[in-house]
């Protein structure tokens, strides 16, 4: 015990490459490498969390996303590392609050869409005007 | 006058050290989950809501000093729009664990230095290291949600210095590479920096240095290392050599800081199984317990981490977990058991070269008698597994350990009136998102 392992250093160029593929690719849905070694029961963590550094769980309050199967009191699994795309269910910062909406990126502009006709959509002039906190990947719906 | 530093040409292929730390860590962790705090003056208070331990830049701008008692600030809080938060160590510990795990992806050599800072071994030309620093800064911001600065230099002392420059000077964009700062700029920065701004130089030392005419870091760089060793210590001589570009501060194994205790060690022989690491973590639990007892402290939050061997061609992993202890404790068994929460994240077959634990939310042990740590009476009698069995059959809280007991005692509950939810460690305190 106590022997110092000297620094092995990673070439910056190589690191950059692995950076480019690693978090993004993993997040995009490659099976976790841990599954190859896994021989036991189904592991919900491995199934639901692709990147444990960037994945958070939040609780929904309100009914504006019911059309997307997201109800009041449900939990959402949110990955902050994902790139928000057209159609993503996102957690956006609106007036200092975290708000869940469907992101629409179209030629006509950027819209934060509710999934309930009783709620209004919010138009945004540019993506840069918008702070996206994270992208929801799963809904833990209470049945 | 030019200071004596190694010439860039010689450093080209040398390993460099990146020092990464979170800006105003506690305040930033609060803001990551409560965007309404963005842009407002914010202080995080010490245990029992005593005094300000972390200040947001806006709070600093109001002239609030570190350590300023809350009772003095409170009457003016409304007028200033000042927000105060009680320390939320569960949140900070979890954010720290995520931060460290993410950093581990950028270098096989990671030294967790404190709850919010780490050293990384990196290599490359200036035109690769600067983008690497920016990539790290962006990834931590995006994944974990907190802002960091990065300093990259040939030595730890210089890397810390660069980080400070990056923090204080927006022109660096959060990343300062020693090699990329023009020599005359470096010199003038060093000449202006008081000597006590350097890592490892505290108050009393400053006065003795001043007597010798050493007031700025520039003065210290020019000082004769042998004289420094004779008049002060080898430790200070190392600082001088480090400032001149010669790496000589080794990996440290145990530190007690202002509010944390870290045990981290590399193994002579890699550990390849969860069972092996269970033993290692138990040993850390005992050592940490001994150290806490010695300082009359107890801990409430434990972070455990491990890292695969940097020397082997294999898949690498840097698992890290944060555990909120049921009560403040220095009990070796409780600490070891908490550290074992890392084990489910350990994959048999990978070669782990290093593991560690970090204790935060430290507080005086009060009137609970400390256990004699090395006798470790529980494990000898098999009480640990028994407790585990009983708890599994009859539920948590069905049985408790000695002075720790079943219920949380009143003597350790703390005043934390302004604590934010423990967003990432408790199901009933998750961040709320509005669907409205």
Residue ranges per structural domain of chain B = 1-192+422-436, 260-405
Which of residues 102 through 141 in chain B touch A, CB cutoff 8 A?
A: 102, 105-109, 121-125, 128-129, 131-132, 135, 139
Contact residues on chain A for B95, CB-CB shorter than 8 A: none
Q: Which of A35-44, A89-98, B271-280, B358-367 has the highest mean pLDDT?
A: A89-98
Residue A64 buriedness (CB in 10 A; 0-12 / 13-18 / 19+): buried
pLDDT score recorded for residue B381:
52
**Architecture of the domain made up of B1-192+422-436:** 2-Layer Sandwich (3.30)
- pLDDT tens for B281-306 read 888 888 888 888 888 888 988 999 99
Among the listed residues A18, A22, A50, A101, the single catalytic one is A101
pLDDT score recorded for residue B324:
86
A96 and B98 within 8 Å at the Cβ level: the answer is: no
Question: Mean pLDDT throughout B151-163?
Answer: 94
Using CA atoms, how far apart are residues B257 and B362, in angstroms rounded to an integer?
10
Which of A108-122, B259-273, B286-300 shows the lowest per-residue confidence on average (mean pLDDT)? B259-273
Q: Closest Cα of chain A to B11: distance in Å?
A: 14
Written out in words, the top-level CATH class of the domain with range B260-405 is alpha beta
- Angle at CA of residue A87, ends B435 and A135, nearest 5°: 60
* Token pair 């998750």 in the structure block, residue: B430
- What DSSP string runs through chain A? --PPPPPP-EEHHHHHHHHHHHHHHHHTTPPPGGGGG--SS--HHHHH-S-TTTEEEEEEESSTTGGGT--TT-EEEEETTSPP-TT-EEEEEETTEEEEEEEEEETTEEEEE-SSTTS--EEES-GGG-EEEEEEEEEE---
Contact residues on chain A for B109, CB-CB shorter than 8 A: 5, 7-9
- Say yes or no: A72 contacts chain B, CB-CB below 8 A: yes
Q: Name all domains of chain A by residue range, CATH numbers in brackets.
A: 50-140 (2.10.109.10)
A12 and B121 within 8 Å at the Cβ level: the answer is: no
Domains B1-192+422-436 and B260-405 share a fold: no
Interface probe for B, chosen from A53, A57, A76, A121 (most Cβ of B below 10 Å), is A53
For residue B433, give the 3-state DSSP assignment.
Answer: strand
- pLDDT tens for B65-104 read 989 999 999 999 999 999 999 999 899 999 999 999 999 8
DSSP B397: T
Using CA atoms, how far apart are residues B99 and A25, in angstroms rounded to an integer?
19
Question: Mean pLDDT throughout A67-93?
Answer: 96
pLDDT score recorded for residue B100:
92
Q: Which of B24-28, B45-49, B186-190, B265-269 has the highest mean pLDDT?
A: B24-28
pLDDT over threshold 90, residue B247: no
Shortest CA distance from B37: residue in chain A: A96
pLDDT score recorded for residue A25:
37
Using CA atoms, how far apart are residues B117 and B252, in angstroms rounded to an integer?
14
Q: What tokens appear for B127 in the block?
A: 């035109």
pLDDT score recorded for residue B218:
93
Which of residues 78 through 97 in chain A touch B, CB cutoff 8 A?
A: 80-81, 91, 93, 96-97
pTM above 0.80, yes or no: no
pLDDT score recorded for residue B353:
83
- Say yes or no: A119 contacts chain B, CB-CB below 8 A: yes
pLDDT over threshold 70, residue B388: no
Q: Report which of residues A12 and B165 the model is more confident about.
A: B165
Q: Report which of residues B239 and A38 the model is more confident about.
A: B239
**Overall size of chain B counted in residues:** 436
What does the mean pLDDT of chain B come to? 83
- Say yes or no: A25 contacts chain B, CB-CB below 8 A: no
pLDDT score recorded for residue B409:
38
Q: Report which of residues B298 and B416 the model is more confident about.
A: B298
In chain A, what is the straight-line distance between the N-terminal and C-terminal CA atoms, in Å?
Answer: 52
What does the mean pLDDT of chain A come to? 79
Q: Which of A62-76, B196-210, B336-350 has the highest mean pLDDT?
A: A62-76
Q: Report which of residues B279 and B45 the model is more confident about.
A: B45
- Say yes or no: B91 contacts chain A, CB-CB below 8 A: no
pLDDT score recorded for residue B280:
84
Q: What tokens appear for B270 in the block?
A: 């890699």
In chain B, what is the straight-line distance between the N-terminal and C-terminal CA atoms, in Å?
Answer: 63
pLDDT score recorded for residue B404:
39
pLDDT over threshold 80, residue B180: yes
Q: Report which of residues A35 and B299 the model is more confident about.
A: B299
pLDDT score recorded for residue B177:
96
pLDDT score recorded for residue B382:
56
pLDDT score recorded for residue B197:
86
Using CA atoms, how far apart are residues B182 and B192, in angstroms rounded to an integer?
16
Contact residues on chain B for A119, CB-CB shorter than 8 A: 436
pLDDT score recorded for residue B276:
85
Q: Report which of residues B403 and B147 the model is more confident about.
A: B147
pLDDT score recorded for residue B374:
43
- pLDDT tens for B311-325 read 656 677 888 888 888
Percent of chain B with pLDDT over 90: 43
Q: Report which of residues B341 and B368 the model is more confident about.
A: B341
For residue B364, give the 3-state DSSP assignment.
Answer: strand
Is A101 labeled as catalytic in the residue annotation?
yes
Is A64 labeled as catalytic in the residue annotation?
yes
Complex-level ipTM:
0.74
């Amino acid at each position: 015990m106590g022997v110092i392992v000297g620094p092995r250093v990673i070439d910056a160029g190589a690191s950059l490459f692995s950076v480019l593929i690693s978090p993004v690719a993993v997040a995009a849905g490659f099976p976790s490498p841990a599954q190859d070694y896994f021989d036991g029961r189904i592991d919900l963590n491995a199934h639901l969390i692709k990147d444990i550094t960037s994945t958070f769980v939040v609780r929904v309050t309100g009914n504006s996303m019911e059309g997307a199967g997201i109800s009041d009191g449900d939990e959402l699994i949110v990955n902050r590392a994902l790139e928000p795309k057209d159609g993503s269910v996102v957690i956006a910062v609106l007036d200092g609050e975290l708000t869940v909406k469907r992101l629409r990126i179209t030629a006509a502009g950027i819209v934060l869409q509710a999934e309930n006709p009783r709620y209004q959509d919010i138009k945004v002039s540019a993506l840069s005007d918008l702070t996206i906190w994270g992208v929801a990947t799963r809904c833990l719906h209470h049945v | 006058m030019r200071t004596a530093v190694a010439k860039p040409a010689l450093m080209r292929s040398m390993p460099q050290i990146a020092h990464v730390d979170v800006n105003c860590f506690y305040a930033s962790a609060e803001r990551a989950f409560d965007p309404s705090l963005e842009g407002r003056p914010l202080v995080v208070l010490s245990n029992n809501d005593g005094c300000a331990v972390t200040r947001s830049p806006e709070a600093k701008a109001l002239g609030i000093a570190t350590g300023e008692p809350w009772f003095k600030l409170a009457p003016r809080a409304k007028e200033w729009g000042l927000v105060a938060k009680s320390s939320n160590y569960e949140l900070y510990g979890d954010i720290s664990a995520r931060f460290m795990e993410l950093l581990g992806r950028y270098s096989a050599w990671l030294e967790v230095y404190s709850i919010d800072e780490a050293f990384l071994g990196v290599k490359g030309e200036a035109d690769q290291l600067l983008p690497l620093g920016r990539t790290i800064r962006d990834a931590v911001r995006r994944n974990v949600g907190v802002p960091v600065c990065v300093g990259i230099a040939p030595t730890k002392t210089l890397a810390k210095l660069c980080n400070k420059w990056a923090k204080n000077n927006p022109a660096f964009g959060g990343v300062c590479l020693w090699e990329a700062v023009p020599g005359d700029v470096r010199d003038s920065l060093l000449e202006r920096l008081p000597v006590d701004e350097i890592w490892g130089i505290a108050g009393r030392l400053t006065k003795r240095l001043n007597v010798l005419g050493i007031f700025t870091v520039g003065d210290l760089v020019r000082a004769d290392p042998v004289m420094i060793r004779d008049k002060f210590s080898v430790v200070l001589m190392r600082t001088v050599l480090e400032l001149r570009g010669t790496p000589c501060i080794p990996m440290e194994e145990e530190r007690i800081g202002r509010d944390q205790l870290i045990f981290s060690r590399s193994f002579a022989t890699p550990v390849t199984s969860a069972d092996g690491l269970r033993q290692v973590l138990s040993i850390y639990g005992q050592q940490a317990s001994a150290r806490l007892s010695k300082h009359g402290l107890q801990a409430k939050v434990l972070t455990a981490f491990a890292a695969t061997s940097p020397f082997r061609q294999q898949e690498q992993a840097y698992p890290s977990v944060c555990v909120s202890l049921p009560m403040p404790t220095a009990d070796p068994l409780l600490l070891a058991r908490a550290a074992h929460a890392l084990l489910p994240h350990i994959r048999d077959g990978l070669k782990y070269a290093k593991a560690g634990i970090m204790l935060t939310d430290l507080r005086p042990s009060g009137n609970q008698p400390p256990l004699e740590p090395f006798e470790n009476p529980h494990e000898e009698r098999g009480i640990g597994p028994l407790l585990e069995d009983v708890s599994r059959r009859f539920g948590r809280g069905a049985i408790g350990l000695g002075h720790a007991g079943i219920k949380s005692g009143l003597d350790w509950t703390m005043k934390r009136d302004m604590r934010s939810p423990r967003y990432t460690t408790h199901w009933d305190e998750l961040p709320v998102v509005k669907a409205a």
